Structure 1
């Protein structure tokens, strides 16, 4: 009797099979080793400290010390010593020694460490975010979106795909070498480094560690002086994770410090540098690394554009763009800093943004607990620059509809806040359209159609990420391909980074090189070209006519030129002629 299933039944069977496979995979997967790390006292929302009247990370009376404080309240958290060059070199030596053994581990051993780390992050995400909020001034939601979800995505992708990406990669040897196996073997570089920014201290530091460990490397992470306190806690997480799984915690070092520490890391003997920061500092890192021929990946920020065509779904697009601009108070390398809107919907978009921005609330999420949309600015020395950018735009014809200046919080007078700002009628030649603000400033520009929008977008020297919003998917995709950026999204913002299989990086003054994805993982390896014999007993012979000393240069030339025609010339008559020439050359 034949079985006659309906479409619904086939779908049910298929779904059941998938669920069964996932359950089996979950049941058979090894349980990660659990561990705990002591939580810093200042991570408690009830904690308070001495209020600094004029907070600064530098203490003039003790320049070798980093002052750690809460940017949202001005509370003094701690002081951390700035490492010396000798201390950095000693850390490198310890990491290099640990890496020798780590390089011999299996991919499964490396996955074991990453599984434990993933389990810890998921179980302790609230604490991780509280530490982050205390050190940077951001909100818990901003911390979760920028620190936890991104780190979990990277861990999950690396656990699932790292081995296949780094496995021996067999390549076609070509007709001439058909008797050979040819492949690329990905070998660890040794000790790599990452000089990372302060805006997401957990993810920016842990992300490079994940890739380094999976590729068999040790790593030194130079953490920003602005997040020295939280970085020490985050370092303990990864070191404890390594220890409980039976590996040397010296494999990973976090080194918070001023610029001289970054220079010392680059000069310590590391085999690779990943730098995340500004174009100006990136150039200095590149020059420093060039003296030691150390390869660099430079991620130098962005001035990301979002283009809205006249048929954009504003119900979907506007909330996405609000998050794209004001996530972490705009302190994002792939934050939306230019919204280029079609003339037909321009005023409608400006009006809606004006209304929404006017309702944003500022403060310390740890102190207030509720009622905070935007936290503090982590760096307290940028207000004059930001106010100057806004005023320059206004002087050249832009409309300042909201904000534009430093905000003095009534509860936290020592807090570092900048008002959520809206600038309309911005034009491409204004400084605000070309200089990365890294602040809660929404810039709206007008375009007269798709070609004009692309033209305006490409006038900016930055080229990191981009977005195009339209109901016409094909048109949006075409425009994305015309934008001079390293990344693009249709009807979305920055989700390419949650697709961890994709490379991350830009063009222009946004830098060069890529991290994340296959490209990022393989970039931490030596891609060794490797050949071996395919067929037993068949090896490369040197024909007598070509053996040294060469008996006849004329016959030798006839032989190799005929051989080239035989193998590579697509014309049949040429191949036949080559066979005749080979025979003659061997007579």
Structure 2
């Protein structure tokens, strides 16, 4: 829509104030009416046009890997799919976890690779940090337009490397990163503008502000569950703040990162006229991650398990490197007795089985009122038994794909067995699903289990799997106790038609995020910071807090009226002090002038004038 079209629309819009007809019969009033309408239309039109106008964008192209193309049937099926082969150290074996097909073998990066990459990133950042926000917005808009044009290819590449469905890719890979870019384009500059603060009465003649300056090279060690979004989320934030970015992607998704996603980032920078060395992608095992953490980068974001997170936190503490840890969750949903299950069950199904349950804010625990428990189990169980599971790029209409990591099926079966042995009721699933055509696929049957208690493994350990785990409660305080029984404290939800009771439960939950009558939407509100407490980590990304978190905050004061008022020390306070007693009286009276009551302030003014004129002649009292 052109600006002229927008204005034409606004002139006929109810937004424009109307002048009564009887008044407009007068020529002068007609002119006033026209001028008023034109001025209003100009203001509103400019605001609307600015909002709908995209930022400048430069198109670019990145070839899609053959293995992600429709109809690809190549790649031998590995007899024992695993990313590591003991006979080939230093090599990452890439395969499709939903079929076991071999995708390729990639050399794992070493400490030497990390050190060299950091040097290249630092050199590129020296020029990038001098770019304007307008130049950075061109990069982000170009990236956004590429994603919108190539979202199918991105989802297919992600599905091939992780086993997720295309719908899960649209939700978790595309929608989330598009919203991150949109928010950054619209509000990132405002978040990084100098922030002015009240200097206080004592410093009334000063300007006080905070400047947000890029830290240098921001590193992100990201998880494998959403390889595209997890990579580009921290990358977008780091670049817009003026940093270079080093991404250490999981070895579980080495193929997609190396063959497509890293090429997108570098091609986007290059076509926009910037050094592609601004972004460095490292792929490797534990030694590679340790090398990144200890390399001397200026800030680190880690997304992963608590076990590895503790090591990262310890290393960054030793190096005094700023760090954000997002360590997963055991997210709870409390369902009150007054809930409309017809509306709630579909949302809880998506929250549980999205990406086969491999979500840091996925629904891991459902705590439901005993009065509606049986109805809920009946409704959810009926749906779960109908879920279709299989390799999403080889079969159509799949609800659930595979697990991404090998070896997880046995762990999950052990968790289910532990729960059943302690009194839980297994309604459906609870075991490996062997696909008739792809028996090497890493599938776990969509599961429904109820009558859980907080002492069970399934109640405490992060499952990261397609398991709907249900608890019962009779009172709200009992529900709160169950919800807070986990050491994980990332996200949460409360479903209740009684908003007072819903708010009461939310207020008692020890978590970093919460939603009332919804699931996970705080991650789609990119204006909000994302993160948890307790074993779910610390620090935040997302929102103004996240983009400022990859900056150095510098506090600055300046003279407000430099030609009129500057800091002046009276002679009694200047070194060497002739009479320390006078200096003590002056500082005492200065404090009283600022902070004492009006009587004390008035007395202090006279005292300080007296000292400045004739001195106090008071000795220093020790």
TM-score (norm: length of structure 2): 0.90
- Looking at structure 1, the residues matched to 580 and 124 of structure 2 have their Cα atoms a distance apart, in angstroms, of 55
| Counterpart pick for 1:38 among 37, 50, 63 | 63
- Looking at structure 2, the residues matched to 374 and 22 of structure 1 have their Cα atoms a distance apart, in angstroms, of 44
What is the CA deviation profile of residues 213-271 of structure 1, one whole-angstrom value per residue up to 9, with x for unaligned ones? 11000010000000001011101001000000000000001111111111111122201
What is the CA deviation profile of residues 489-525 of structure 1, one whole-angstrom value per residue up to 9, with x for unaligned ones? 0000000000000000000100000000010000100
Q: Which residue of 1 aligns with 2:265?
A: 238
**Is 1:495 aligned with 2:515?**
no
What is the CA deviation profile of residues 2-40 of structure 1, one whole-angstrom value per residue up to 9, with x for unaligned ones? 5289xxxxxxx9x99999557623675443100000110
**What do you get for the CA RMSD once the two structures are aligned?**
1.8
Q: Is the contact between residue 55 and residue 137 of structure 2 (CA under 8 Å) also seen in structure 1? A: no
In structure 1, the gaps of 5 or more residues are: 6-12
Q: Does the residue aligned with 1:485 lie in a helix, a strand or coil?
A: coil
Q: Does the residue aligned with 2:394 lie in a helix, a strand or coil?
A: helix
**Is 1:395 aligned with 2:412?**
no
Q: Does the residue aligned with 1:365 lie in a helix, a strand or coil?
A: coil
More divergent stretch after superposition (290-299 vs 151-160): 290-299
More divergent stretch after superposition (313-322 vs 24-33): 24-33
**Is 1:120 aligned with 2:135?**
no
- Looking at structure 2, the residues matched to 286 and 18 of structure 1 have their Cα atoms a distance apart, in angstroms, of 51
More divergent stretch after superposition (419-428 vs 19-28): 19-28
- Looking at structure 2, the residues matched to 181 and 401 of structure 1 have their Cα atoms a distance apart, in angstroms, of 66
Q: Is the contact between residue 84 and residue 261 of structure 1 (CA under 8 Å) also seen in structure 2? A: yes
| Counterpart pick for 2:485 among 459, 464, 477 | 459
**Is 1:178 aligned with 2:195?**
no
Q: Which residue of 2 aligns with 1:331?
A: 358
Q: Is the contact between residue 331 and residue 439 of structure 1 (CA under 8 Å) also seen in structure 2? A: yes
| Counterpart pick for 2:79 among 32, 53, 56 | 53
* Stretches (4+) displaced over 6 A: 15-19
- Looking at structure 1, the residues matched to 296 and 245 of structure 2 have their Cα atoms a distance apart, in angstroms, of 11
Q: Which residue of 1 aligns with 2:20?
A: 3
**Is 1:520 aligned with 2:537?**
no
Q: Which residue of 1 aligns with 2:325?
A: 298
What is the CA deviation profile of residues 140-192 of structure 1, one whole-angstrom value per residue up to 9, with x for unaligned ones? 00011000000000000000001100011111100011101110010100001
Q: 1:574 Cα deviation (Å)?
A: 1.6
Q: Which residue of 1 aligns with 2:3?
A: none
Q: 1:63 Cα deviation (Å)?
A: 1.1
Q: Which protein has the larger Cα radius of gyration, Structure 1 or Structure 2?
A: 2
Q: Does the residue aligned with 1:291 lie in a helix, a strand or coil?
A: helix
In structure 2, the gaps of 5 or more residues are: 1-17, 23-37, 615-622
Q: Does the residue aligned with 1:562 lie in a helix, a strand or coil?
A: helix
Q: Does the residue aligned with 1:138 lie in a helix, a strand or coil?
A: coil
Q: Which residue of 2 aligns with 1:70?
A: 96
**Is 1:131 aligned with 2:161?**
no
Q: Does the residue aligned with 2:356 lie in a helix, a strand or coil?
A: helix
Q: 1:581 Cα deviation (Å)?
A: 2.6
- Looking at structure 2, the residues matched to 575 and 533 of structure 1 have their Cα atoms a distance apart, in angstroms, of 25
Q: Which residue of 2 aligns with 1:414?
A: 440
TM-score (norm: length of structure 1): 0.96
**Is 1:276 aligned with 2:276?**
no
Q: Does the residue aligned with 1:178 lie in a helix, a strand or coil?
A: coil
Q: 1:343 Cα deviation (Å)?
A: 1.4
Q: Does the residue aligned with 1:367 lie in a helix, a strand or coil?
A: coil
- Looking at structure 2, the residues matched to 556 and 478 of structure 1 have their Cα atoms a distance apart, in angstroms, of 56
Q: Which residue of 2 aligns with 1:473?
A: 499
What is the CA deviation profile of residues 415-453 of structure 1, one whole-angstrom value per residue up to 9, with x for unaligned ones? 000011111000112111111000111110011122221
Q: 1:383 Cα deviation (Å)?
A: 1.5
- Looking at structure 1, the residues matched to 120 and 378 of structure 2 have their Cα atoms a distance apart, in angstroms, of 58
Q: 1:585 Cα deviation (Å)?
A: 2.9
Q: Is the contact between residue 556 and residue 585 of structure 1 (CA under 8 Å) also seen in structure 2? A: no
| Counterpart pick for 2:375 among 327, 340, 348 | 348
Q: Which residue of 2 aligns with 1:25?
A: 50
- Looking at structure 1, the residues matched to 595 and 523 of structure 2 have their Cα atoms a distance apart, in angstroms, of 43
What is the CA deviation profile of residues 560-584 of structure 1, one whole-angstrom value per residue up to 9, with x for unaligned ones? 1111111122x21121222233234
Q: How does 1:94-109 map to 2 (within 5 A)?
A: 94-109=120-135
- Looking at structure 2, the residues matched to 263 and 555 of structure 1 have their Cα atoms a distance apart, in angstroms, of 59
- Looking at structure 1, the residues matched to 21 and 189 of structure 2 have their Cα atoms a distance apart, in angstroms, of 42
- Looking at structure 2, the residues matched to 430 and 574 of structure 1 have their Cα atoms a distance apart, in angstroms, of 65
Residues 1:164 and 1:393: Cα distance change in structure 2 (over 3 Å): same
| Counterpart pick for 2:592 among 565, 569, 583 | 565
Residues 1:27 and 1:349: Cα distance change in structure 2 (over 3 Å): closer
Residues 1:367 and 1:188: Cα distance change in structure 2 (over 3 Å): same
Residues 1:224 and 1:18: Cα distance change in structure 2 (over 3 Å): farther
- Looking at structure 2, the residues matched to 426 and 529 of structure 1 have their Cα atoms a distance apart, in angstroms, of 52
- Looking at structure 2, the residues matched to 125 and 29 of structure 1 have their Cα atoms a distance apart, in angstroms, of 19
- Looking at structure 1, the residues matched to 46 and 386 of structure 2 have their Cα atoms a distance apart, in angstroms, of 48
Matched pairs, number: 577
Q: Which residue of 2 aligns with 1:9?
A: none
Q: Is the contact between residue 110 and residue 284 of structure 2 (CA under 8 Å) also seen in structure 1? A: no
Q: Which residue of 2 aligns with 1:253?
A: 280
What is the CA deviation profile of residues 519-538 of structure 1, one whole-angstrom value per residue up to 9, with x for unaligned ones? 00001001000011110322
Q: 1:289 Cα deviation (Å)?
A: 1.9
Q: 1:344 Cα deviation (Å)?
A: 1.4
Q: 1:346 Cα deviation (Å)?
A: 1.1
More divergent stretch after superposition (466-475 vs 25-34): 25-34
What is the CA deviation profile of residues 270-319 of structure 1, one whole-angstrom value per residue up to 9, with x for unaligned ones? 01010000100100111222232111100000000000001112122111
